[in-house]
């Protein structure tokens, strides 16, 4: 990632739902860091969101990142 902007200062969130949103953000950044070209990304976007298998693969990445964030937050117990 050439991006030097600060976008992930912490994994700690106030609520599980905020943590879930962060998991979605992490998943998007993972894709973006592998393919930084915005034009190509735009072209591929429909596969993630309009193709069932791509959508399921995206959701699996969200689930993995939510595992990380939930543990980081000590599961908001």
Binding site for a copy of itself (CB under 8 A): 1, 6-12, 15-17, 20-21, 24, 26-27, 29-31, 33-35, 37, 40, 44, 47-68, 70-73, 75-77
Closest CA to 74 of 18, 30, 11, 27: 11
Closest CA to 58 of 77, 72, 40, 45: 45
Residue 28 CA to residue 24 CA, distance in Å, equals 6
Shortest CB 35 distance to a copy of itself, Å? 4
Shortest CB 38 distance to a copy of itself, Å? 13
Shortest CB 69 distance to a copy of itself, Å? 8
């Amino acid at each position: 990632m050439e991006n030097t902007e600060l976008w992930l200062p912490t994994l700690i969130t106030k609520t599980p739902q905020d943590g879930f949103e962060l998991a979605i953000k992490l998943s998007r950044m993972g894709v973006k860091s592998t393919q930084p070209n915005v034009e190509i990304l735009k072209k591929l976007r429909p596969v993630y969101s309009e193709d069932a298998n791509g959508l399921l693969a995206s959701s699996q990445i969200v689930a993995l990142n939510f595992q990380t964030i939930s543990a980081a937050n000590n599961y908001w117990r």
